[in-house]
Amino acid sequence: MTNWQTILLNEEYSSENVYIIELNRPEAMNSLNTLMANELIECLKELHEKEDLRVLILTGSGEKSFCVGADLKERKGMTNKQWKQQHDIFEEAYGLLRNFPFPVIAAVNGFALGGGMEMLLSCDLRYVSEHVKMGLPEVKLGIIPGVGGTQLLPRAIPVGLAKEFLFRGNQIDAQRALEAGIVNGLFVKEELLLNTLEIAKEIARNAPLSLKALKQSINNGLQTDINTALTIELDQYYKCANSEDRLEGILSFNEKRKPNWQGK
């Protein structure tokens, strides 16, 4: 296992097909600097090749912060060229997160601001602890979200509500995020990772080809018209219907046993 400086990779649950990435800069509220972005890229590429991975959990170290976005201390004094070079790295990291082949679950354990909120929006499912606050405050800093915030938020909640959050740039609490539909569930902080892990394990027990096909079908279908989307769904359906795992699923059901998925 690679030893990274700003992230931790927990493989303790790999026997249950779940891996956990922990953002590990607690002294800086887990803010995203260039090194962390590069290490996320390396880690996500490495995990992409893991044959036993079915679900990935992303969380932050400690109980105070998930991620408060870009490290503004590092950005202080950057030229426009340096800023652009760094942002290119950020874009690649977030793109790998959004396009990860299997479900990615955010276990949000504290502040999720700016790029931190965009990070949780880049995940497929989002669970938060009760003390969490999140927001996209870029408008207060003379910029706008640049790694998906203006596109992912209005795809997750009503457009008018997304615009309000973006125009005002204020923080919202965990309950408001739940009511708005930004997050899937809310837990007391002591049970956040445990409960998220149980959900991840439940998902990981399902057919791997089906999980990948579901994610592809939903994500790609949302970007187009309904007829094209149905064609995308049908293409993914037949990838599963013509697989060995589909035969195993039927056989295990009739034999009243757990399926032995092969991912093919």
Instruction: Check whether 256 has a pLDDT greater than 90.
Output: no
Q: Are residues 32 and 133 in the same domain?
A: yes
* pLDDT mean over 100-120: 98
Residue 134 in any domain: the answer is yes
pLDDT (tens digit per residue) in 118-170 = 999 999 999 999 999 999 999 999 999 999 999 999 999 999 999 999 999 99
pLDDT above 90 covers a percentage of the chain that reads: 86
Residue 136 in any domain: the answer is yes
Q: Are residues 200 and 220 in the same domain?
A: no
* pLDDT mean over 78-104: 96
Q: What's the pLDDT score for residue 77?
A: 86
Contact criterion met (CB below 8 Å) for 262 and 244:
yes
Q: Are residues 97 and 223 in the same domain?
A: no
Kindly report the CATH number assigned to the domain that includes residue 109: 3.90.226.10
Residue 51 domain boundaries? 7-204
Residue 232 in any domain: the answer is yes
The pLDDT confidence band at residue 261, using thresholds 50, 70 and 90, is: confident
- Considering only residues 83 and 227, tell me which one the structure prediction assigns the higher pLDDT: 227
Other CB atoms closer than 10 Å to residue 13's CB: what's the count? 16
Q: Which of 49, 63, 118, 233 is catalytic?
A: 118
Q: What's the pLDDT score for residue 8?
A: 97
Residue 234, token pair as written in the block: 């049908």
Residue 158 in any domain: the answer is yes
Question: Does 42 qualify as catalytic in the annotation?
Answer: no
Q: What's the pLDDT score for residue 233?
A: 95
Q: Which of 42, 138, 179, 233 is catalytic?
A: 138
Kindly report the CATH number assigned to the domain that includes residue 213: 1.10.12.10
* pLDDT mean over 205-234: 95
Q: What's the pLDDT score for residue 126?
A: 98
Residue 261 in any domain: the answer is no
Looking at the 3D structure of the chain, how many domains does it have?
2
Q: What's the pLDDT score for residue 2?
A: 74
The pLDDT confidence band at residue 188, using thresholds 50, 70 and 90, is: very high
Instruction: Check whether 1 has a pLDDT greater than 70.
Output: no
Q: Are residues 114 and 234 in the same domain?
A: no
Residue 1 in any domain: the answer is no
Instruction: Check whether 197 has a pLDDT greater than 90.
Output: yes
Distances (CA, A) of 8 to 20, 89, 135: 8, 19, 25
- Considering only residues 73 and 216, tell me which one the structure prediction assigns the higher pLDDT: 216
Q: Are residues 86 and 216 in the same domain?
A: no
CA 108 to CA 63: how far, in whole Å?
Answer: 9
pLDDT (tens digit per residue) in 32-60 = 999 999 999 999 999 999 999 999 999 99
Residue 259 in any domain: the answer is no
Give the single-character DSSP code of 90: H
Question: Does 190 qualify as catalytic in the annotation?
Answer: no
DSSP string, 99-135: T-SS-EEEEE-SEEETHHHHHHHTSSEEEEETT-EEE
Task: For the chain, give the mean pLDDT.
Answer: 95
